Amino acid sequence: MSALVATRKLSKSVAQGPSRLWLLRDIDLAIDAGDFVSISGPSGAGKSTLLHILGMHDHDWEGAYELDGHDVRSMSQKQRADLQRRTIGFVFQSYHLIDDLTVAENLDVPLRYRDIPKSERQSLVADSLDRFRIVGKKDLYPSQLSGGQQQLVGIARAVIAGPKLILADEPTGNLHSEQAREIMELFRELNRAGATIVQVTHSEENARFGNRHVRLHDGWLIQ
Amino acid sequence: MIRQTLRSLFRAPGLAIAAIATLALGVAFTTTMFSVVDAVLLKPLPFRDADRVVVVSDVNTKSGERDQVSAPNFQDLADATKTLQAPSLWITQPITIAGTGAAERVESLRVSPSIFTAFGVSPLIGRAFRDDDRAVVVLSHGHWQSRFGSDPAVIGKALRLEGVSHTIVGVLPPDFRFPDAEIALWQPLVLKDFEKKFRGKRMFQAVARVAPGATIEQANAEVRTIASTLAKQFPDNTDWLTDARPIEQSFVRNPRPLLLLFGAALLVLILACANVANLLLARAAATRSDMEIRAALGATRVNIIRHYFTEAAVLAIAGTAAGVLLAARMIDLVTAIRPPGLPTWNQLTLDWRALVAASVALVLVTLIAGVVPALNASRDVAGHAIRGRFGVAGERGGRLRRTLTAAQVALAVVLLVCAVLLVRSMLAVQDVDTGFDKRGRVAATLVLPDKLYNGQKEVALFTTFLDRMRSLPGVVAVGGVTALPLNRAGVDYAVEIYVDGFTPGQREPEADFRLTTPDYFRAMGIPLVAGRELQPTDDARAPRVAIVNETFARRYAAGREAVGLNVSLYCTRCDRFRIVGVVRDTRHKALDGPITPEIYLPYTQIPHGELTFVVRTSGDPMLIASAMRRELLRLDPDLALSNIATLDDIVARSIDDRRFNARLLAAFSICALLLAAVGLWGSLSFSLGQRRQEIAVRVALGASRTNVWRLVLTEAATPVLAGLAIGVCGAAVATVWLRAMMFGVTAGDPLTYVVVVATFGAIVLVVATAGFRRLATDDVSRLLADA
């Protein structure tokens, strides 16, 4: 496996009475650096489950998973956490900005966890505010922003530490179509600038923004 | 509404049980301590119109010192007064009963025949005293039950007191306990010649009833007028005044420890309320969506407040009921450990007054526990503040909950500091070197009746008894003394002394005077520092000798060798005793009291009818006690040993008051600590539940376990730090009231504060660790899903 992301026979199940309920079955997936992959499928297909496994939020699975050349399965919890910090940025469907922090402070959160000196963090936050054109909103709290603006901040937060891989879980799920299109355009720009993106989406239209489209059904990868 | 509330509480049994248990503890402590305070300080004494019974006592106009009265002065007062009825004297007297079973040493009262009129009490059976009564007794109800099996035919039966036959004429009712429950029988006071003669011998207590139509103030004014006339007439009364005070004021010597303990119990109750308020606050946040739906359906703010108050009231009623049941058990426990210093005229019971106190607690609990969540939730819901739907913090009522937690910690800190100081004081007192060896020793008092034994007869009996005890198997040494250290029995007073070559200052030198047998110091393990011990040859015919303690030698020998000096007691021309030995200092009156000069004289040279014997044994000391009883029975079946106890027990009993206060306060503080810890845990787990999503996002954004641990620790430590700061200040104020109860430790003792802070530090670590573990930070997807 030389891709940025590679899984082989990746499966996940949970106990259901005397048997098991399979959420993912034998997923073989390779994502190269620079790809923009859209994962779609009906509810309960296992899209978000797969994304959280790729994002190393979930460690209870079977099979093989290699990220940026590292065998995730054989890593300790600390090593996985280090790899996650170095490699991944995550965008949530519900934005998940921290209510008590301003926009600038929200952007600062991932940097704080990467032991970056304060002056450098301030500079990165300023750059990010500028890049995403939200300088005027830096002192506002999330509750003072529209849904689209909140997701913009969510994306800015996901990319601020320069991850190799951006994972987005239904990033436009709570936005109206105009805002959704703007966000998807932003993802395309980021991809063109070199970011590898994996998004989970229900929307065929949004899925078309990617250069690859994979579908899941009842935990199986069908395309 | 109540049915719905009950149903919703049944759906969350954990919260209901925690709240009820918490309140039960608070209510039980408060009700128990109220019962103690009520019995000792508030409840009227169990006499008819107790507020009209007065105590008459002498007051020194120079020193302000309050003293008892002398018989001749009181007789003059009784003859002259128009505002007092049934003026009566009383004095306690330990006495040996025989003739109706085994000889037994009991406490009795010698009283003026009119005393029952003064108290307004009539015997349950039989009659009260008549003026011409002599050899008769009235039994207390307790003694009638224990010695006579409540036999109604006891009236007219005879018993022997100190060998003299007396007739039982009455039995007192069960609720009459004066001055405490220890009194077994009452005898009419027949004044002895010396008691009638000396106006300066203030040896009697006196009571009277204020006459109908007169007030206590008028009675007091009249008593003072009569006393000032007597002061002019008799030189012994110069500088002395007499007054009449309500009896309640005279008998509770120091209410402060009790009031402090009651205050501590109230703090526990308030802490419990804060805890329940916190639980309800958490519940209000958890059920907020229900309330939003109710508000959307038309519920007003009042409806919502009523809902939360009903919830608090239901919990408070259940908690109070459980607390009252628990209090009934606690009262038994307090009765069992009650120190002898606590008056016992009113029995400790869970009566209607205690139930009223519990009801007040119930209202207090409902108000405190209900008002905070009700107002907070109603304000929130009424404003339809649906916010943070897509955010991740949105912890509602968090500041209020942290404030309540901080308040609980502050209260617990105050109690814990006080308890640690009292416990350390108690331990410091326990560690005080008594000056004698208490191991393997038993003591027993023998009092000889004046009428059968006096002078050399007393010496002969004591000497024979000593010889018999010495020959018992296992006995290593035996000695006797008129007053044993740290023991309440025995004659123990200071006398004026005159030491050769010592020039007194303003006050005449004094020493505590005791009579001892040879071998007493060896039996007690009190080392001889200089000279020799008393010998059997130091008898009535031998030259008069004395032994003194180190403090005596240091103070009065004035740099000379004490051995060889002569000392006389009472007057310069009285008998002179040659000091032949110096013994080590002992703690005689109290472990935490000063050491005074002491002088020991041979009992053979000044015969006295009461000695407390100390037997040092090689085996179990209490086994020797029964052998001692047998030997005494052979000598005289009408004699009985009393106050039989090991020296270990005597030393331990001497700090009963201290132990009682420390134990109770320690129980309160441990309870407070547990409540505060539970409150902190409840607050933290709820808060972490609220912040679960936020924490999950932080982990998703790269927060390490250490970062999350730090976050949880900060969440737990913030209210604790605030509570510690407030509590330490509060403790600094509260301990001012404790100063009189401290020993070997100061109110600002740094170690105590370090221990308390460290305890809360440990609690924070435990609670934070438990909270952190529950977060399962290695599974972010589950955290996000749970959130």
Q: Give me the pLDDT at residue A51, please.
A: 92
Q: Give me the pLDDT at residue B387, please.
A: 36
Structure tokens at B208: 């009277």
B669 or B780, which is more confident? Answer: B669
Q: What are the boundaries of each domain within chain B?
A: 1-48+257-386, 63-238, 397-433+655-787, 453-637
pTM score: 0.73
Write the pLDDT tens digit of every residue in B473-503: 999 999 999 999 988 766 777 788 888 878 7
Cβ contact, residue pair B779, A84, below 8 Å:
no
In a domain, A94, yes or no: yes
- Say how far residue B274 (Cα) sits from the centre of its chain: 30
Out of A48, A52, A113, closest to residue B701 by CB = A113
A191 or B102, which is more confident? Answer: A191
**Coil, strand or helix: which one is B646?**
strand
d(C-alpha B611, C-alpha B614), whole Å:
10
Calculate mean pLDDT across residues A130-147.
90
Write the pLDDT tens digit of every residue in B124-162: 999 999 988 989 999 999 899 988 899 989 999 999 888
d(C-alpha B50, C-alpha B178), whole Å:
12
Q: Give me the pLDDT at residue B777, please.
A: 60
Q: Give me the pLDDT at residue B217, please.
A: 93
Burial class (CB in 10 A: 0-12, 13-18, 19+), B736: exposed
Q: Give me the pLDDT at residue B787, please.
A: 47
Res B383 pLDDT > 60 = no
> Distance, in angstroms, between B703 CA and closest chain A CA?
5
Q: Give me the pLDDT at residue B371, please.
A: 79
Calculate mean pLDDT across residues B91-101.
83
Task: Give me chain B's average pLDDT, please.
Answer: 85
Res B393 pLDDT > 50 = no
Write the pLDDT tens digit of every residue in B212-258: 999 999 999 999 999 999 888 888 888 888 999 988 777 665 677 78
Pairing verdict, β A19-31 and A36-40:
unpaired
Query: The domain containing residue A47 runs over which residues?
Result: 33-60+75-221
Q: Give me the pLDDT at residue B388, please.
A: 35
d(C-alpha B754, C-alpha B417), whole Å:
10
Calculate mean pLDDT across residues B298-322.
82
> Distance, in angstroms, between A92 CA and closest chain B CA?
9
d(C-alpha B399, C-alpha A161), whole Å:
33
Q: Residue B18: what residue type?
A: A
Calculate mean pLDDT across residues A67-72.
94
To test the contact with chain A by mutation, choose from B390, B692, B694, B698 the residue with the greatest count of A C-beta atoms within 10 A, namely: B390
Q: Give me the pLDDT at residue B384, please.
A: 45
Q: Which residues of A touch B393 (CB under 8 A)?
A: 98-100
Res B395 pLDDT > 60 = no
Q: Are B204 and B21 in contact (CB under 8 A)?
A: no
> Distance, in angstroms, between A30 CA and closest chain B CA?
22
- DSSP alpha helix (H) spans, B636-655: 647-653
In a domain, A68, yes or no: no
Q: Which residues of A touch B779 (CB under 8 A)?
A: 57-60
Give the confidence band of A67 by pLDDT, cuts at 50, 70, 90. very high
Give the confidence band of B586 by pLDDT, cuts at 50, 70, 90. very high
> Distance, in angstroms, between A47 CA and closest chain B CA?
13
> Distance, in angstroms, between A183 CA and closest chain B CA?
17
Q: Which residues of A touch B399 (CB under 8 A)?
A: none
Question: What's the ipTM?
Answer: 0.77
Out of B391, B394, B704, closest to residue A81 by CB = B704
Q: Is B12 left (phi over 0), alpha (psi -120 to 50) or beta?
A: beta
The number of domains in chain A is: 1
Cβ contact, residue pair A98, B784, below 8 Å:
no
Strand (E) or helix (H) holding B164: strand B164-171
Cβ contact, residue pair B393, A99, below 8 Å:
yes
DSSP β-bridge partners for residue B244: B56
Q: Which residues of A touch B705 (CB under 8 A)?
A: 77, 81
Out of A52, A114, A150, closest to residue B390 by CB = A150
B505 or B662, which is more confident? Answer: B662
Chain B nearest-CA residue for A87: B702
Q: Give me the pLDDT at residue B49, please.
A: 84
Q: Give me the pLDDT at residue B718, please.
A: 93
Pairing verdict, β B545-549 and B510-516:
unpaired
Burial class (CB in 10 A: 0-12, 13-18, 19+), B156: exposed
Interchain CB contacts (distance < 8 Å): A and B? 80
Give the confidence band of B401 by pLDDT, cuts at 50, 70, 90. confident
Write the pLDDT tens digit of every residue in B439-474: 999 999 998 887 778 778 888 999 999 999 999 999
Q: Which residues of B touch A97 (CB under 8 A)?
A: 390-392
Q: Which residues of A touch B699 (CB under 8 A)?
A: 57
Percent of chain A with pLDDT strictly greater than 90: 49
Write the pLDDT tens digit of every residue in A168-208: 998 888 778 888 888 889 899 999 988 999 999 988 888 99
Q: Give me the pLDDT at residue B345, please.
A: 56
d(C-alpha B592, C-alpha B587), whole Å:
8
Q: Closest Cα partner for B169 from B160, B158, B179, B180?
A: B158
Q: Give me the pLDDT at residue B92, please.
A: 85
Q: Are A103 and B699 in contact (CB under 8 A)?
A: no
Chain B nearest-CA residue for A93: B390
To test the contact with chain B by mutation, choose from A60, A78, A99, A124 the residue with the greatest count of B C-beta atoms within 10 A, namely: A99
Q: Are B50 and B234 in contact (CB under 8 A)?
A: no
Cβ contact, residue pair B782, A174, below 8 Å:
no
Q: Which residues of B touch A157 (CB under 8 A)?
A: 701
In a domain, A5, yes or no: no
Cβ contact, residue pair B780, A58, below 8 Å:
yes
Give the confidence band of B748 by pLDDT, cuts at 50, 70, 90. confident
Cβ contact, residue pair A59, B778, below 8 Å:
yes
Q: Give me the pLDDT at residue A10, please.
A: 95
Q: Which residues of A touch B780 (CB under 8 A)?
A: 52, 55, 57-58
Task: Give me chain A's average pLDDT, please.
Answer: 89
d(C-alpha B561, C-alpha B279), whole Å:
73
Q: What is the CATH number of the domain that holds A89?
A: 3.40.50.300
In a domain, A19, yes or no: no
Q: Which residues of A touch B390 (CB under 8 A)?
A: 94-97, 142, 147, 150, 174
Q: Give me the pLDDT at residue B341, please.
A: 56
Q: Closest Cα partner for B344 from B204, B489, B210, B174?
A: B174
Res A118 pLDDT > 60 = yes
Structure tokens at B501: 């070559």
How far is the CA of B664 from the CAs of B76, B165, B333, B756, in angstroms? 47, 46, 10, 18
Q: Give me the pLDDT at residue B339, please.
A: 66
Q: Give me the pLDDT at residue B392, please.
A: 46
Write the pLDDT tens digit of every residue in B415-443: 999 999 999 999 999 899 999 999 999 99
A113 or B56, which is more confident? Answer: B56
In a domain, A20, yes or no: no
Cβ contact, residue pair B697, A96, below 8 Å:
yes
Give the confidence band of A12 by pLDDT, cuts at 50, 70, 90. very high
> Distance, in angstroms, between B392 CA and closest chain A CA?
5
